A = this chain, B = another copy of it.
Amino acid sequence: MAQRKSRSDRRIDLIEAARRAIIRHGIDGVQLSHVAEEAGLTSGAVLYHYPDLDELLVEAQHAGMERFYEQRVRRLGTLTDPVEKLVVTIRSGLPTGPLDPDVRLLNELGGAAGRTRVYGVLLTSLYDRQVSMYQAILDTGAALGVFRLSGDSLSVARNLVALEDAYGYRITARHPVIGPAEAAELILSYARVATGNDLDC
């Protein structure tokens, strides 16, 4: 028998297992047995903790998003220079490669968000928070006179997050030319004209 665990520990395990199962089979293709297999349990055990698979999938997506966002914020907290902040943030929003699990998970939401309200809300709220994150960096840089913004900070921030999103898709789809480094350079080329700063550091 699989090692017995406390209610909360097992739920965390299952959320992780669901995350892997979604990446492997797609948010619409994932099955109870997939999650059970990833968790090293039987279907019955999964059902004991989550009688409704959909609920588990939503929690898994939610947890994945939070983790992704928190990682970025944490990374940002270690820096003070707006230029450095902007460059690091741009890099931290891109997948490390085609297999990056965090971005793969988020990408699964793209299609589902149009069909299932919960996923639309999740994805939209992540987008808005990332926009705020960029906006804070841009506003600070502008206040310090380091950036001379080409437009309002909200629009620039929205475009920066949009570019990250899109290149995330390109990279996970294995574009033969656009990898993490190339995508970062493309976004930076926009950030340079948008901030009027060379952004070399």
- The residues of A with any CB-CB pair to B shorter than 8 Å are 23-29, 98, 104, 107-115, 117, 119-120, 123-124, 127, 150-151, 155, 158-159, 161-163, 165-167, 169-170, 172-176, 178, 185-187, 189-190, 193-194
Contacts and interface: CB of A to CB of B under 8 A. Distances in A.
A193 B151 CA distance: 9
Copies in the complex: 2
A185 B25 CA distance: 37
A25 B27 CA distance: 11
A49 to B, nearest CB: 23
Contact of A186 (B98, B150, B162): B162
Nearest to A116: B26
Contacts of A28: 25-29
B114 A98 contact: yes
Given A151-B189, A155-B186, A176-B124, A113 B194 contact: no
A120 B98 CA distance: 11
Contacts of A163: 159, 162-163, 166
Contact of A26 (B115, B123, B159, B190): B115
A173 B26 contact: no
